[in-house]
Amino acid sequence: MASYGITHLDFVNSLTKMPAHLLLLTPVDEEQMVDSHTGFNVISGDHEIRSYLLNRHMRQQKWIDYRRTLYLDEVTPNEIAEMLYLGHMYTQLQSPFYYKLENDFVYLDLPEGMTKVYYRHLNQFETVFNTALLHHLRTREIEMRFWMRLRQDHLQPLSHENLVELVPVMEEGLLLPFTDVQFKPGELQIPFFRMKKRFVVNDDDWTRSQSEMLGFLVFDRHARQWHIRWQA
């Protein structure tokens, strides 16, 4: 899943627990721990992993999580080559999920400022998406008048059914412009668009006309739940 606007902090705040270990796909730093079999840098320990994931000064993060150090010695040369390709080309030759690593994620910061994450399970992406959604709404809410703001305990995440309904649009390219969020007494509305052209960060030629409005994500402030209002 490639995205722009979902931050490292959103991702970390979505985790119920830190990964046990990280295998880094970035260029090898000989001053850090290097796994002798794979040749990749590795990070272990809850504190060390959290510090790495939240490091704002790091230009680019590329990693695969894994469960047991013992099984790193069983990774084949072909699998190591696949991981090198994945880290360099930002796409997979085979499935990016390895039974020896038991990884849940492959996390890749793309050169143009976007992020690409492979999720083993859909519910993992749902949690990250909702964390980012609520984060952007809270940021936008600060700019609104007091009476239009939501009480802290009112805003709920989108349901699984809501997100499944949006999956076909996500596959083509979903745009949520939070600058256009409307806070109303009875509801909150976020317009959503389907991308007609591949989004490029800092592309001065890109305009909203290169997307098609499909409807609104609507939060009912009385029922305290979301629904999707498709545009006729």
Predicted confidence pLDDT, tens digits, the chain (232 residues): 999 999 999 999 999 999 999 999 999 999 999 999 999 999 999 999 999 999 988 889 999 999 999 999 999 999 999 999 999 999 999 999 999 999 999 999 998 889 999 999 999 999 999 999 999 988 887 766 554 555 554 789 999 999 999 999 998 899 998 889 988 888 899 999 998 877 766 665 555 667 899 999 999 988 999 999 999 7
Residues 75 and 10 in one domain: yes
Give yes or no: residues 63 and 155 share one domain.
Answer: no
Euclidean distance between CA atoms 40 and 198, whole angstroms: 32
Alpha helices in 160-222 (DSSP H): 160-172
Give me the number of domains the chain comprises.
Answer: 2
Going along the chain, which residue ranges are E strands? 2-3, 21-24, 42-44, 62-66, 105-109, 115-119, 174-175, 182-183, 187-195, 211-220, 225-230
- Domain interval for residue 197: 123-230
pTM of the model: 0.89
Asked whether residue 25 falls in the same domain as residue 49, the answer is: yes
Contact 44, 21 (CB under 8 A): yes
Examine the domain organization and report whether 127 and 114 are in the same domain.
no
